[in-house]
Amino acid sequence: MKKKIVSVLLCATMISSMLAGCGSDSAATTEGTDDAAATEESADAPAEESADASAGAGTGSVYLLNFKPESDGAWQDLAATYTDQTGVEVTVVTAADGQYKTTLQSELAKSEAPTIFNIGSTADCAEYANYIYDLKDSYIYDHLTDKSLALEYDGKVAAVANCYECYGIIYNKTILEGYCGMEGAVVSSVDDIKDFETLNAVATDINNRVDEINEALGTNLTGAFASAGLDSGSNWRFSGHLAGLALYYEFKDAGCDLIAGQGTVTGKYLDNFKNVWDMYVNTSSADKATLDSGAYNAEQELGLGEAVFYQNGDWEYSAFAVDNENGYTVTTDDLSMMPIYFGVDDANEGLAVGTENHWAVNAQASQEDIDSTLAFLEWVISSDEGRDAITNQMGLSAPFDTFTDEYASKNGFAAMANEYAAQGKTSVAWSFNATPAVDDWRADFIAPLTEYTERDGSWDDVKTAFVDQWAYYWELSNEQ
């Protein structure tokens, strides 16, 4: 009898604990529906345009799935400030580095899905076609200075850039100027480097005379260019950014949209790619047979003054800030950026300006949430707190006309992009944004490039991959 009682008690405990679990669940759901009902009522009265943020903030909630791990802290603070001011709940979740797509896919499937998420390219728009809200009438699109920084898809303004970035060849001007003053230097001034031939000659000369330069200037150079790592942590600089120039000039010739691209490429400018690539590899101290080992750190090579040139973008600026405690001896004062002279139209080529960071608003969220989200984004780019966070804390260059005076970008490399533009040079568009099935295409391109570089593989294979895989993935991604 006793045993029976014990077992009955045990069962009762188990069942009650299960019910308790379900109970709290159902409580939460009812709460949710109550909320929704309440907001529906209030949504009936159309939100009036008002200067007072709290009145226009809406009654929904905002969920931002942040793309940049380094700006997580700034976003969390900004979200808390907004909630304090308006009472609107803002959730910020940051996906781990390289895990954005994984996180986004699982988060979008939840009932509390992100209302703002990052979209990189037109190809992404196609994938998330069902989730794209038309931002045509939004404040952020209205105040976007360069409308080409918005992604259009299916007749909608699918996503709006939240920053613009530039890339080129970062160089150590202190060392380079020192070199120019030396006897027998290829050029007498940094300004004389205006095309690929000159750059190549300078890099080759520096690389050949490393010891001599070190002795004369007291530097500790090991090569001209920083290592061109072919491991996954670095190879996007070439399969994405450098290949972007080949794509840019090709699209320009073809007359198609420079960002959206077209279904076939011919690899017309791949010889230029090859020249630049050979320069990277041959004027660097890294053993070219081991470039894919992942053991190289190009940023560090530049930071420690071991290299003069380094192809990368303005996001590297903060790594060389004086207060950044990473032990680099080279700071932003020593650095500048020049275009990746590609040997096509060097006289008119500026830095490559564009972005992979676009805000998209989830069309499948409830209307209240969408309204609140748009209000939040408006606040981010118009309020002092929001602008301060974006410019000063996240260090981004915002593409909105609300970012004036003290909120203008403080990024020295971004300033270089404007300087080149002011000189009448054309900024290179980020044509690699058109890449179909971007991870696959890049992997298929890097494989023969690695063979070519490390094991004397054929350049034709690189070209074949570039051309054939483009058409192949394009067809795959665009079929319905």
Partner 1 sequence: MEKAIKRYFPLFVLPTLAAFVIGFIAPFVYGIFLSFCKFTTVVDWEWVGLQNYTRIFVVNGKVDTTFLHSLWYTALFTVVSVLIINVVAFAIGMVLTKGIKGTNLFRTAFFLPNLIGGIVLSYIWLMIFNAVLQNFSKTIVSSQWYAFWGMIIVVCWQQIGYMMIIYIAGIQNIPGDLIEAAKIDGANSWQMLRNVTLPMLMPTITICSFLTLTNGFKLFDQNLALTGGNPGKMSQLLALNIYDTMYGTTGWQGVGQAKAVIFFILVAVIAVAQNKLTTSKEVQG
Stretch that binds partner 1, among 40-48, 165-173, 286-294, 301-309 (CB under 8 A): 286-294
Burial class for 402, CB neighbours closer than 10 Å (0-12, 13-18, 19+): middle
Would you give the DSSP letter of residue 155? T
Q: Between residues 459 and 472, which has the closer beta carbon with respect to partner 1?
A: 472
Among 18, 19, 38, 80, binds partner 1 (CB under 8 A): 18
Q: Between residues 250 and 292, which has the closer beta carbon with respect to partner 1?
A: 292
Stretch that binds partner 1, among 30-38, 42-50, 147-155, 284-292 (CB under 8 A): 284-292
Q: Between residues 119 and 340, which has the closer beta carbon with respect to partner 1?
A: 119
| Radius of gyration from C-alpha coordinates of the chain | 26
Q: How far is the CB of 304 from partner 1 (least distance, A)?
A: 20
Among 80, 188, 294, 401, binds partner 1 (CB under 8 A): 294
Angle at alpha carbon of residue 273, lines to 227 and 147, rounded to 5°: 100
Q: Between residues 95 and 398, which has the closer beta carbon with respect to partner 1?
A: 95
Per the document, the length of the chain is 480
Find the binding residues for partner 1 in span 84-143 (CB under 8 A). 101-102, 105-106, 108-109, 123-124, 126-128, 130-131
Q: Between residues 2 and 48, which has the closer beta carbon with respect to partner 1?
A: 2
Please, which residues have CB within 8 angstroms of residue 76's CB and are 6 or more apart in sequence?
Answer: 92
Q: Does an H or E element contain 274, and which?
A: helix 270-282
475 sits near partner 1 (criterion: CB under 8 A): yes
Find the binding residues for partner 1 in span 135-194 (CB under 8 A). none
Find the binding residues for partner 1 in span 404-463 (CB under 8 A). 436-440, 443-444, 447, 450-451, 454-455
Number of residues counted as binding partner 1 (CB under 8 A):
45
Instruction: Tell me how far apart the alpha carbons of residues 30 and 401 are, in angstroms, rounded to a whole number.
Output: 43
The residue to which tokens 């970008």 are assigned: 409
The neighbouring-strand residues paired with 338 are 169
Among 186, 318, 392, 472, binds partner 1 (CB under 8 A): 472
Q: From start to end of 420-470, where are the E strands?
A: 426-428
Among 7, 24, 145, 266, binds partner 1 (CB under 8 A): 7
3-state helix, strand, coil in the chain (%, to 5): 55, 10, 35
Q: Between residues 18 and 80, which has the closer beta carbon with respect to partner 1?
A: 18
Stretch that binds partner 1, among 87-95, 135-143, 211-219, 467-475 (CB under 8 A): 467-475
The residue to which tokens 């900004």 are assigned: 78
How crowded is residue 16: how many other Cβ atoms within 10 Å of its Cβ? 11
Q: From start to end of 322-477, where are the E strands?
A: 335-338, 349-354, 358-361, 426-428
Q: Between residues 42 and 102, which has the closer beta carbon with respect to partner 1?
A: 102
Q: CB-hemisphere CA count at 13 Å for 60? A: 21
Q: Between residues 2 and 184, which has the closer beta carbon with respect to partner 1?
A: 2
Of 377, 367, 362, 372, nearest to 87 by C-alpha is 372
Of 358, 339, 147, nearest to 245 by C-alpha is 339
Are the CB atoms for 420 and 348 separated by under 8 Å? Answer: no
Would you give the DSSP letter of residue 266? -
Gap between the terminal Cα atoms of the chain: 68
> What's at 387, amino acid-wise?
R
Stretch that binds partner 1, among 2-10, 145-153, 298-306, 326-334 (CB under 8 A): 2-10
Q: Between residues 339 and 448, which has the closer beta carbon with respect to partner 1?
A: 448
Q: How far is the CB of 18 from partner 1 (least distance, A)?
A: 6
Please, which residues have CB within 8 angstroms of residue 297's CB and are 6 or more apart in sequence?
Answer: 227, 229
Site string for partner 1, 213-232 (x = CB under 8 A): -------------------x
Q: How far is the CB of 116 from partner 1 (least distance, A)?
A: 16
Instruction: Tell me how far apart the alpha carbons of residues 68 and 163 are, in angstroms, rounded to a whole number.
Output: 12
Q: How far is the CB of 122 from partner 1 (least distance, A)?
A: 11
Stretch that binds partner 1, among 71-79, 168-176, 292-300, 425-433 (CB under 8 A): 292-300
Interacting residues with partner 1 (CB under 8 A): 3-4, 7, 10-11, 14, 18, 101-102, 105-106, 108-109, 123-124, 126-128, 130-131, 232, 287, 289-290, 292-295, 436-440, 443-444, 447, 450-451, 454-455, 472-473, 475-477
